[in-house]
Structure 1
Amino acid sequence: MPPDQQPAAENWVNHGERTPRAARRASSVVLLRDGTRGVETYLGYRRGHSPLGTIAFPGGSEGNDDDANVAWFGPTPGQWADKLGILDHREARARIVCAARELFEETGVLLAGGDELSVLEDCSSNEWMELRQAVAEEDISFSELLNGRGLGLRTDLLRPLARWVSPDFAHRRFDTWYFAAAMPVRQQARLLEGKGTWSAWKSAADVLEDRGTTALGDEVDHQETVGLTLSQATVPAVEVILEKIATTRGTIAYLAHRRELKTFHPQLVSAGGQFVLEVSVSTASEGGICWRSR
């Protein structure tokens, strides 16, 4: 468990369980590409003990404008609602828009085009960086950006992975839908100027090979990461997803895999005198294992 969560866990146990704090709706996108060391994914540093992890995939909580109408290519909000098990079509639309917006703000990757077959080719200019900053600072809305340039979301480029709800004891809690997307060929991923301090494409296999060391935390080189193992610097969702990516044959295979969509809710347990987060996996494809993060 991340060290910053230990006090909250101890307080939860010592003073008796109580009503968990409300979990904010959030979305996160696992950006993928093929590399020489297997499938790579884009990770970044998140300050402030984010419920998505200190080292995490791009993402964040829903904004007030995420349920606004935008041009839409691919599965409709109603179809996404059915797929995600959400009754409210507007909520389903907000989940998808949130995912695309957060990905654009944090990486500059924009899953949008002028029609159902096109994807914007280049978002790396200074003009686009200024637009990213304007959206991030809410000077303009994401819907205004898309509508003003005649762009529609390519929702068919997203694949749902799973829903993760933060542990009950956490002071900040997210109800997060994770999606996956392939890196568009002619776009580049880079930090938002003045906002981020570290990001990198990392081989999932390499990250997991060093998971018991502090290599990644030391590379990020922040007070919140130095000297920490992978499990201590992130949340179970990130580590579990990395495990799945590391075993896939390639980006296309990972995106094409038909998976049962499940909700995961890590539970606080005591093991060997320590608090750990336990995630039970019960589907046949997962082998009925129990994944445990210390």
Structure 2
Amino acid sequence: MPNSASPLREEQRLFPLAPDQLGAAHSWFEHGERSPRKPRLASSVVLVRDGAAGTETYLGYRSGSSPLGTVAFPGGSVDDADGEPVTWFGPSPAKWAETMGINDLRVAQGHVVAAIRELFEETGVLLAGPDESSLPESTSGADWMRTREAVAGQEKSFAEALSRRGLGVRTDLLKPLSNWLSPDFAHRRFDTRYFAAAQPANQRPSLLESKGVWAAWLSAQELMAGRETTALGDLVDQPDTRGLTFSEVTSPAVEIIVEKIASARGCIAYLSHKRPQRIYHPELVLVDGVPMLQVVASAAAEGGAVQRGR
């Protein structure tokens, strides 16, 4: 195992395809490569906190063959409304565009607002406040759940929901992680920006009543220790997770991010780690006749000792 002073080398790593992707993968090989479908913009938030068994992250079950993974971080598509005016605290859209390497300020804003909105919809954790240094003390209760349902059901825009409570998005609480493009063969493709955030002290995540199935705080180190087992899939206990390994119920993005969380010496070290903004674009390859995803990645530690990956 290399130590933290060793030079970090990137390697081509292989990941299994989700069972529902196999048909599209075989078709891609059998009928020849075609022009990939245009990806939809999406954002996802890696929520982290310190726990007794190391740094923890919040994962949830996503039904409907989500490109983010069957078990994944909170997230979803960027909506047109995410680019509309909203009260804003923290780095400006222009600063975010520069940080993420995006030329269009509206697109950059859309990714940031979508990340905060999706996190709120799916977990109730709200990275917004009345000023640049405050957050709501609590986002639990029936009134907050009604607001979450209204935003998730597009009965009310996120900007409207914030305005009615005198709140603005706290973009300073988000840390950019990476950019993942769905493989070219996929029928549903996403251009996803991953962000990280610490759990606010007085807020606790909860499932959205109308859609939530399962979610939990899990130790990143324990997830990595049991990645070759079916522990996570069995814990989620859904028809498309039981008996499947960590790699089979998540996605390469989730697995690589969880690896890096596990390697960090705590939540603060993970969030404060300076990382280049890189694009990951998994490639479909055949390995002994089996379609797999190939990703170029390193086992870089993030604020801690390097842990050996797969």
TM-score above 0.5, yes or no: yes
Q: Select the residue among 276, 287, 290 that pairs with 1:274.
A: 290
2:206 aligned with 1:176: no
Flag structure 2 segments of 5+ consecutive residues without an equivalent. 1-16, 303-308
**Partner of 1:65: helix, strand, or coil?**
helix
Alpha-carbon distance change, 285 to 213 in structure 1, aligned in 2, over 3 angstroms? closer
2:33 aligned with 1:20: no
Please give the alpha-carbon distance, in whole angstroms, between the structure 1 residues aligned to 2:230 and 2:203.
Answer: 31
Cross-structure match for 1:221:
237
Q: TM-score, normalised by structure 1?
A: 0.95
Once the two structures are TM-superposed, the CA of residue 284 in structure 1 deviates from its matched residue by 8.3
Q: Select the residue among 128, 134, 139 that pairs with 2:144.
A: 128
Cross-structure match for 2:161:
145
Percent identity between matched residues is 59
Cross-structure match for 1:196:
212
Please give the alpha-carbon distance, in whole angstroms, between the structure 1 residues aligned to 2:269 and 2:103.
Answer: 30
**Partner of 1:39: helix, strand, or coil?**
strand
Please give the alpha-carbon distance, in whole angstroms, between the structure 1 residues aligned to 2:54 and 2:277.
Answer: 24
Please give the alpha-carbon distance, in whole angstroms, between the structure 1 residues aligned to 2:197 and 2:158.
Answer: 19
Please give the alpha-carbon distance, in whole angstroms, between the structure 1 residues aligned to 2:201 and 2:300.
Answer: 35
2:172 aligned with 1:156: yes
Please give the alpha-carbon distance, in whole angstroms, between the structure 1 residues aligned to 2:250 and 2:292.
Answer: 13
Letter of the structure 2 residue corresponding to residue 115 of structure 1: D
Q: TM-score, normalised by structure 2?
A: 0.91
Matches within 5 A, 1:68-107: 68-107=84-123
Please give the alpha-carbon distance, in whole angstroms, between the structure 1 residues aligned to 2:266 and 2:65.
Answer: 31
Letter of the structure 2 residue corresponding to residue 42 of structure 1: Y
Once the two structures are TM-superposed, the CA of residue 281 in structure 1 deviates from its matched residue by 2.7
Once the two structures are TM-superposed, the CA of residue 194 in structure 1 deviates from its matched residue by 2.1
Deviations 1:64-105 (A, max 9, x none): 211111111110000000000000111111100000000000
Please give the alpha-carbon distance, in whole angstroms, between the structure 2 residues aligned to 1:45 and 1:58.
Answer: 9
Aligned residues: 289
Matches within 5 A, 1:186-265: 186-265=202-281
Letter of the structure 2 residue corresponding to residue 95 of structure 1: H
Please give the alpha-carbon distance, in whole angstroms, between the structure 2 residues aligned to 1:237 and 1:163.
Answer: 9
Once the two structures are TM-superposed, the CA of residue 282 in structure 1 deviates from its matched residue by 6.8
2:127–2:135 CA contact under 8 A, matched in 1: yes
Matches within 5 A, 1:7-46: 7-46=23-62
Please give the alpha-carbon distance, in whole angstroms, between the structure 1 residues aligned to 2:238 and 2:187.
Answer: 22
Deviations 1:252-278 (A, max 9, x none): 110100001100000011123321111
Please give the alpha-carbon distance, in whole angstroms, between the structure 2 residues aligned to 1:58 and 1:43.
Answer: 7
**Partner of 1:176: helix, strand, or coil?**
strand
Letter of the structure 1 residue corresponding to residue 86 of structure 2: V
Q: Select the residue among 83, 89, 94 that pairs with 1:67.
A: 83
Alpha-carbon distance change, 211 to 284 in structure 1, aligned in 2, over 3 angstroms? closer
The alignment's C-alpha RMSD in Å is 1.6
Letter of the structure 1 residue corresponding to residue 277 of structure 2: L
Cross-structure match for 2:18:
2
Structure 1's consecutive aligned runs of 4 or more residues displaced over 6 angstroms after TM superposition are 282-286
2:179–2:279 CA contact under 8 A, matched in 1: yes
2:263–2:301 CA contact under 8 A, matched in 1: no
2:121–2:151 CA contact under 8 A, matched in 1: yes
Flag structure 1 segments of 5+ consecutive residues without an equivalent. none
Letter of the structure 2 residue corresponding to residue 10 of structure 1: H
Please give the alpha-carbon distance, in whole angstroms, between the structure 2 residues aligned to 1:36 and 1:272.
Answer: 42
Deviations 1:99-154 (A, max 9, x none): 00000000000001111111111000110001000000011000001112110111
Larger RCO (CA under 8 A, 6+ residues apart): 2
Deviations 1:145-193 (A, max 9, x none): 1112110111000000000000111111110000000000000101000
